[in-house]
Amino acid sequence: MAGSLARAEQAAVDLGLSITVVEMPESTRTAVEAATACDCEVGQIVKSLVFTGSETGDLFLFLVCGDNQVDIEKAAIAAEQPLERADPSLVRKKTGFAIGGVSPIGHKQPIVTFADEDLLNYQEVWAAAGTPRAVFAVDPTSLIKKTKAKTTDLKLS
């Protein structure tokens, strides 16, 4: 796990993102757990959800507000192909992170990324830093810019 955290920290340095990783004593695997640990609103938690393109097999990363559910049809339109939840072993192989600790930065391979426009409603959001107990706070505008995420409406209505 330490390698995953170090990779996320190094990615932040490489991208010019000023972050401080906080290792929590309890799990931050779910948005509710993370919000409790970070003492913030659930919406301020960045869920890093990975899907596989049904046509290409490519992975797509969706950065979503913790209190939003992804509308899979909207996500598929953004990805320009049908999507399915990525297999956890494939996520680990391609990103270097396990489900529950997938960081929006520091992936082993580049992944096309989309960001929930609702993240921009906050001055600060919290994202996973590579493990189920490590998180970092960041300005959502900077995170979206540095990850080259395309901002779109992803929320289930």
Instruction: Annotate the chain with three-state secondary structure.
Output: CHHHHHHHHHHHHHHCCCCCEEECCCCCCCHHHHHHHHCCCHHHEEEEEEEEECCCCCEEEEEEECCCCECHHHHHHHHCCCEEECCHHHHHHHHCCCCCCCCCCCCCCCCEEEEEHHHHHCCCEEEECCCCCEEEEECHHHHHHHHCCEEECCECC
Angle at 95 between CA 80 and CA 4, to 5 degrees: 150
Compute φ and ψ for 126, nearest 5 degrees.
Answer: -120, 130
* pLDDT greater than 60 at residue 1: no
Residues 151 and 131: their CA atoms lie apart, in Å, by: 25
Query: Are 99 and 85 spatial neighbours (Cβ–Cβ below 8 Å)?
Result: no
81-133 pLDDT tens trace: 999 999 999 999 999 999 989 999 999 999 999 999 999 999 999 999 999 89
- Relative to beta strand 59-65, strand 21-23 is unpaired
pTM, whole model, 2 decimals?
A: 0.95
Mean pLDDT, residues 131-138 taken together: 94
> CATH number for the 2-152 domain, one of 3.90.1200.10, 3.40.630.10, 3.40.1030.10, 3.90.960.10?
3.90.960.10
Label residue 69 by pLDDT band (50, 70, 90). very high
Ranking 6-10, 27-31, 64-68, 147-151 by mean pLDDT, the lowest is 27-31
CB 75 within 8 Å of CB 47: no
Query: Cα separations (Å) of 45 from 10, 55, 100, 109?
Result: 21, 30, 12, 24
Predicted confidence (pLDDT) per residue in 6-39, tens digit: 999 999 999 999 999 999 988 888 899 999 999 9
pLDDT at position 2, please? Answer: 63
The domains of the chain are located at 2-152
> What is the predicted pLDDT for the residue at 27?
85
Q: How high is the pLDDT of residue 72?
A: 97
Which value, to the nearest 10 degrees, does the dihedral of the CA atoms of residues 2, 6, 9, 10 take?
-170
